Chain A
Amino acid sequence: MNRNHRRTYVSSAGLGLMYVLTLLALIPLGLVLWFTIAKGLPSVIHPQFLFNSELPPCEPRCPIVSQAGIGHAIVGTGIMVGIASLIAIPVGVLGGIYLAEYRVAPWSNWVRLASDVLVGTPSIAIGLFAYAFLVVPFHHFSAFSGAVALAVLMLPIVTRTTEGAVALIPNGLRESGLALGLPRWRVSLQLVLPAAAPGVITGALLSVARAAGETAPLLFTAFGAHILEFDPSGPMQALPVTVFKYALLPYKSLQDQAWGAALVLIVMVLSINLISRWILRRHIALAGQL
């Protein structure tokens, strides 16, 4: 009996330990969010922070309300992620359809393996690749090369999530389409893809969020700029690059801007994430009703 008491005690202690470690895992999330909000908010509450471009640092004597802003970085991130999405999402969706619809084809195993490896490839190496491929031949940094690097990052994510979403569609839908005499491309693109749309959109949004937060591939492709730029063939600023560069500079005013930019970035990325999650959940609820 004594031994059984001890066993029960050990079991409860073990369960308690697991829950304590789980709480411990959530502490960093709370701390990161809290400090980003607390340190970033003083910059972000001034509307010009979101619209102005950078001004030179004003240390040691700063006006109480600085005129500096990160408008150029927000626009830059928007343009580059936009171009990257235009490249990566169509290719990734078609690739995902191939993987799901022709999963017995031997080649699809190689594509699957390659995309799993590409997901794990360090983003800095992808930046080096884009540099060698698109910066060296043209002899100058460009937002376009940055967008291509981001597209390479996004492609395997879109491919694999599309595959997952399309593979979930029951075969009955395909068979009824084929029985009506539809060619295979219409079955895949006009029946199966719309049915899988919520999952596909979720994957695309997740890849956009990932690309918006990446710094390493942009360092020597888009490089960064101090003014508002719309031309993708020249250097361009991006939000994560702003955070990275300003945070390491010895000026308090620029460090404050870095925290502000980090807050804008985190709000952007987390809201894209939560929206995609919401789309998926609604989809699952709908699928349950069918």
Chain B
Amino acid sequence: MAVRAEAKAGIVTSRPRDGFQWVVGIVASAVPALLLLIVLTLLQQAMPAIQHFGLAFVVNTDWNPVTENFGAAPAIFGTVFTAFLALALALPVGVAVAVVLAEPGHTTLRGFVGTGIELLAAIPSVVYGIWALYVLAPWSYEHIEVPISEHAGFIGWLGSPAVRGLFNASLVLAVMILPTLTAISRDVIKAVPRGLKENAVALGATWWETTWRVILPSARAGIFGATILALGRALGETIAVTMVIGNQYVIPQTIFQPAYTLASVIANEFTEATGTLYPAALIELGLVLILVTFVVNMLALLLVQSSTRDARRAV
């Protein structure tokens, strides 16, 4: 263990602790301390709502500031639904781009595509929001939602299209999580041992057979990790979703109708919340969101780390 650690970069000291290590170690502790402080602060601020509603908060579907009866169920539904629909839309595209980026050769094209995807990640979410609101959502309403509901509207959950709603929010989310999905999947696919691929080709497998039956299956755990990480991003995305989801605090009957997510309820209502119970309920929504993303992110990190480590060991 010690030998392996020494082989990596970094000072390996004979004396286990020196003054500098203490100083930078304490500065670095700002990160975990901050994380703890965020959770504790939100917990403390949400306390009135937690005590008042108890566990029923997560199943209650009502959100009424007048009677001060608050429940998180519609927002949790909207958050989870949009995130999963976005993943379903983005996953095939993201993996395809990752496969193309991980292939050797064509460096110019690859550099172009890679830069494009990374710029996609750099665009602020509010710019996606205004684009989705004025361009994507009207287009998707006319060319995707209306045709689908005309031809398949007899299936209950594919009816009543709307410009702002669950589906269009998922569509813009899919675009936004694509870079996360692609970047990590590419690294994972690149980490697949070359021997595996060479063996497949030597046995006479075509490019497609090599990719589909050898490379993707051995990168499976890592791609799954990338998917979960993208899920975490999708769950927490606020502004772009707020602009196109339609802001109706209900569990909608069809996938096109207006709804709400945890993050967008907070973004829209927090500055107007008065009294003690109303802001506390909003902060409890934030607490639910933060805890869900923590669990999702930890799971994703474990999956990505273990899959790239296994691949490295196999080489």
A contacts, CB < 8 Å to B: 7-8, 10-11, 13-15, 17-19, 21-22, 24-26, 28-29, 31-32, 35-36, 39, 91, 94-105, 107-108, 110-111, 113-118, 120-126, 128-129, 131-133, 152, 155-156, 159, 167-171, 174, 178, 183-185, 187-188, 209, 212-216, 219-220, 223, 240, 243-244, 247-248, 255, 258-259, 262, 265-266, 269-270, 273, 277
Find chain A residues with CB under 8 A from B129 CB: 243-244, 247
Please tell me if the beta carbons of B35 and A215 are within 8 angstroms of each other in the complex: no
A-B contact count (CB 8 A): 288
Please tell me if the beta carbons of B238 and A123 are within 8 angstroms of each other in the complex: yes
Q: A117-B297, A118-B35 are in contact. Are A223 and B271 (CB under 8 A)?
A: yes
- B interface bracket (residues with beta carbon within 8 Å of A): 35 or more
Please tell me if the beta carbons of A169 and B9 are within 8 angstroms of each other in the complex: yes
Given A121-B236, A213-B125, 13 more contacts at CB 8 Å? A11-B209, A15-B207, A25-B96, A32-B128, A91-B30, A105-B25, A107-B28, A123-B238, A152-B38, A185-B19, A220-B270, A243-B127, A270-B119
Please tell me if the beta carbons of A128 and B12 are within 8 angstroms of each other in the complex: no
Within the assembled complex, what's the spacing in Å between the Cα atoms of A110 and B141?
Answer: 47
Interface of B (DSSP majority class): helix
B154 within 8 A of A: no
Q: A26-B116, A188-B11, A270-B119 are in contact. Are A128 and B283 (CB under 8 A)?
A: yes
Per-position 1/0 for B170-212, Cβ under 8 A of A? 0000010010001000000000000000000000001111011
Which residues in chain B, 97-150, are within 8 Å of chain A measured between CB atoms?
97, 99-100, 113, 115-120, 122-131, 133-136
Within the assembled complex, what's the spacing in Å between the Cα atoms of A125 and B283?
Answer: 8
* Chain B residue with Cβ nearest A276: B122
Q: A91-B30, A99-B28 are in contact. Are A124 and B266 (CB under 8 A)?
A: yes
23 contacts between A and B (CB under 8 A): A7-B206, A8-B206, A18-B100, A26-B116, A28-B178, A32-B127, A36-B127, A97-B24, A117-B297, A120-B233, A121-B38, A121-B290, A121-B293, A121-B294, A126-B38, A170-B9, A184-B18, A213-B123, A215-B124, A240-B239, A244-B129, A262-B127, A266-B124
B contacts, CB < 8 Å to A: 5, 8-13, 18-21, 23-25, 27-32, 34-35, 37-38, 41-42, 44-45, 92-94, 96-97, 99-100, 113, 115-120, 122-131, 133-136, 175, 178, 182, 206-209, 211-212, 229, 232-233, 235-239, 243, 263, 266-267, 270-271, 282-283, 286-287, 289-290, 293-294, 296-298, 301
